[in-house]
Structure 1
Amino acid sequence: MARLRSLFDPFLLALLATVLAATLLPATGTAKIVFDWLGDIAILLLFFLHGAKLSRAAIIEGAGKWKLHLAVLATSFLLYPLLGVAARAAVAPAAPVIADGLLFLTLLPSTVQSSIAFTSIAGGNVPAAIASASLSNIVGILVTPLLAALLMGASGGGGTADSILKVGGQLLLPFLAGHFARPLIGGLVERHRALVFRVDRGSILLLVYSAFSAAVVEGIWRRTDVGGLALAALGGLVILALVLWLSRLAARRLGWPVADEIVLRFCGSKKSLVSGVPLAAAIFPAGQAGMLLLPLMIFHQMQLMICSVLARRYAEAAPRR
């Protein structure tokens, strides 16, 4: 039972319940206006907390592995988008909504908590994982909107440069405010981790409900069927398998120790649902954002299951190494 729970993220149940609620009772009229305002507040709060949770000392401790960090960034924001473009071209004729969602998930930064947790379980370089995953999230605040503008035409109705500056300011400023406030509120954040976690997840659920409500009104379930969801799962699985294989191949060709190989595979292969939901809400119109999130939610669960198994295999091989 414990192993089953480690493979299945309970947060996924809450996400599915939120999607069901948005499908049966979408927010319209005045309720939509209220949820749009709450969504904007949730985005600010999320990135403020992300900044407040970021430990500068941990990043400095792992910052010496600059080649490893560049490799993680290249995997997240170069290799993944290339595979996303190919996946979009392959899936678009059958399911254009799913194709766009697959491309969008490849543009996102790495996860933080789960990447570090899997690196620790596998016996990898944890300080380097903290630095790599944190750097990926900071870079992603600006790079993900830029890639979305270049590859998906997400210009927000204005010029691409204006859109990038607007989104970057909307996300980066609260992130920096939270990080620079860490000396004042860092102790409070650490003492109330459970509360911060609930606020974090609650904000994500609020954004998912708002985005899916708009998507339901625009007819997401008329444009997506079971076959489309299967394509999302298959496309995400193929992309993840290729990234995990290529990252291991690169680490071994470069002669890196296994501890660094683990960091590259876990930090480079993961895509953040926690960052992806507010990024989608900030970059795209509400209805389009909701449609883009389906492949990401499916991918979120797959990466947890596969990386959990992979981490245990590394741990079991550690004594032989």
Structure 2
Amino acid sequence: MARPKFLPDNFTLCLVGTVILASLLPVHGQSATAFNWLTNIAVGLLFFLHGAKLSREAIIAGATHWRLHLVVLASTFVLFPVLGLVLKPVLSPLVTPALYAGVLFLCTLPSTVQSSIAFTSIARGNVPAAVCSASASSLIGIFVTPALVSVVVTNQNAGGTSAWHTVGNIVLQLLVPFVAGQLLRPLIGRWIERNKSVLKFVDQGSILFVVYGAFSEAVNEGLWHHIPLAALGGLLVVNAVLLALALGITIFTSKKLGFSRADQITIIFCGSKKSLAAGVPMAKVIFASNAVGAVVLPLMLFHQMQLMVCAALAQRWGARDLSAERDATRGEESGASAGERTAAARR
């Protein structure tokens, strides 16, 4: 039986199911403590595997395109936070203060890695540059995001913890496993390349673990009693405005700066998206446990929205470029055939 086209992908369905499960059966008490330790292990394993997967050659290959990387990083860590702050007087009345804190948090996050590269490939963009740019964004975000959160998301930091304490937690839980994976890449890198399904399972599984734990804590604190239905509708509007502006500005800027079409595609997809895989673990480290559920909700909705919109754009641009290549090939073949006929007539 064919899968209905209106259904989202399996991970999205699992994400929605996890939120529903946490809303109906939240973990609490000693079970919550044990689940928190299990989640920390899953997140550490995720970054360890990513460290072992990412080759140094891939980073070096795209690192020379510094103009493109600067534009992507500026969009990710400058444009988004500025948009979030500038639009706050207009958009914040549509949602609750806790939800807009989540919106500001997503504005500070790094770009996605896997989907940015995948969409760039589908749209026939500069894939090596996308690999380098998205990976650099993810690594830089480990340090930049906590600093931006301390500036942009005031009053919401983790229960009064210092920025240095936050950075220390992120280094311990995220960066150390990543570096360990890089160091062990010569031993396990080939195995990971042959078993990519393991990384995908850990990647998605760790996110589901964090989401379940975060929403369980939030539900125990009365999350759904504090967020009216109208605020959820307003959150969709806020996310749509942010995504539309990010896409529009990256499209306009990449053209004005004279980048090639392939580079424009890379800038658009790497510079307009935010990472759920990085954002959810970071939220768990940066924010107080009872605030994580409301903080990651805007990110979860933005993640689904950006995937649907960028998938449509990638398919459209990729099909258009492929059609243009086919037309050019046919034109060359027609010209060659006409030349052969003319030569034959002369003979």
Normalised-by-shorter TM-score class: over 0.9
Q: Does 1:280 align with 2:295?
A: no
Letter in 1 for 2:188: I
Check whether the contact 1:156–1:163 (CA below 8 A) recurs between aligned residues.
Answer: no
Q: Does 1:194 align with 2:200?
A: no
> Mind listing any 5+ residue stretches in structure 1 that lack a counterpart?
none
After superposition, what is the alpha-carbon deviation per residue over 1:135-163, rounded to whole angstroms, capped at 9, x for unaligned?
Answer: 01000111111111111232553332333
Match of 1:104 in 2: 105
Equivalent position SS for 1:109:
coil
Aligned partners of 1:285, 1:150: CA distance in 2, in Å?
17
After superposition, what is the alpha-carbon deviation per residue over 1:255-295, rounded to whole angstroms, capped at 9, x for unaligned?
Answer: 11000000000001111111111111111122211111111
Q: Map 1:132-171 onto structure 2 (within 5 A).
A: 132-153=133-154, 154=157, 156-171=159-174
Structure 1 residue runs of 4+, over 4 Å off?
A: none
Alpha-carbon distance, 1:211 to partner: 0.7
Match of 1:264 in 2: 267
Alpha-carbon distance, 1:87 to partner: 4.0
Letter in 2 for 1:71: V
Check whether the contact 1:204–1:274 (CA below 8 A) recurs between aligned residues.
Answer: yes
Letter in 2 for 1:199: V
Match of 1:131 in 2: 132
Check whether the contact 2:158–2:288 (CA below 8 A) recurs between aligned residues.
Answer: no
Check whether the contact 2:69–2:133 (CA below 8 A) recurs between aligned residues.
Answer: yes
Alpha-carbon distance, 1:116 to partner: 0.7
Equivalent position SS for 2:258:
coil
Aligned partners of 2:161, 2:26: CA distance in 1, in Å?
28
Which is worse superposed, 136-145 or 97-106? 97-106
Match of 1:90 in 2: 90
Alpha-carbon distance, 1:58 to partner: 1.4
Match of 1:236 in 2: 239
Alpha-carbon distance, 1:98 to partner: 1.8
Check whether the contact 1:87–1:102 (CA below 8 A) recurs between aligned residues.
Answer: no
Distance 1:3 1:109, change over 3 A: farther
After superposition, what is the alpha-carbon deviation per residue over 1:213-243, rounded to whole angstroms, capped at 9, x for unaligned?
Answer: 1111111101112211111111111111111
Letter in 2 for 1:22: A
Letter in 2 for 1:312: Q
Which is worse superposed, 273-282 or 51-60? 51-60
RMSD of the TM alignment (CA)? 1.8
Distance 1:269 1:36, change over 3 A: same
Match of 1:15 in 2: 15
Equivalent position SS for 1:92:
helix
Aligned partners of 1:69, 1:187: CA distance in 2, in Å?
28
Alpha-carbon distance, 1:175 to partner: 1.2
Distance 1:247 1:285, change over 3 A: same
Distance 1:58 1:238, change over 3 A: same
Which is worse superposed, 186-195 or 83-92? 83-92
Aligned partners of 1:3, 1:79: CA distance in 2, in Å?
37
Check whether the contact 1:115–1:133 (CA below 8 A) recurs between aligned residues.
Answer: yes
Letter in 1 for 2:169: K
Letter in 1 for 2:290: G
Aligned partners of 2:158, 2:281: CA distance in 1, in Å?
17
1:305 alignment partner, one of 304, 308, 312: 308
Q: Map 1:43-82 onto structure 2 (within 5 A).
A: 43-82=43-82
Match of 2:228 in 1: 225
After superposition, what is the alpha-carbon deviation per residue over 1:63-94, rounded to whole angstroms, capped at 9, x for unaligned?
Answer: 11111011111100000111122344434344
Letter in 2 for 1:188: W
Letter in 2 for 1:95: T
Alpha-carbon distance, 1:44 to partner: 1.2
Check whether the contact 2:146–2:163 (CA below 8 A) recurs between aligned residues.
Answer: no
Match of 2:181 in 1: 178
Match of 1:255 in 2: 258
Check whether the contact 1:36–1:210 (CA below 8 A) recurs between aligned residues.
Answer: yes
> Mind listing any 5+ residue stretches in structure 2 that lack a counterpart?
326-347
Match of 1:39 in 2: 39
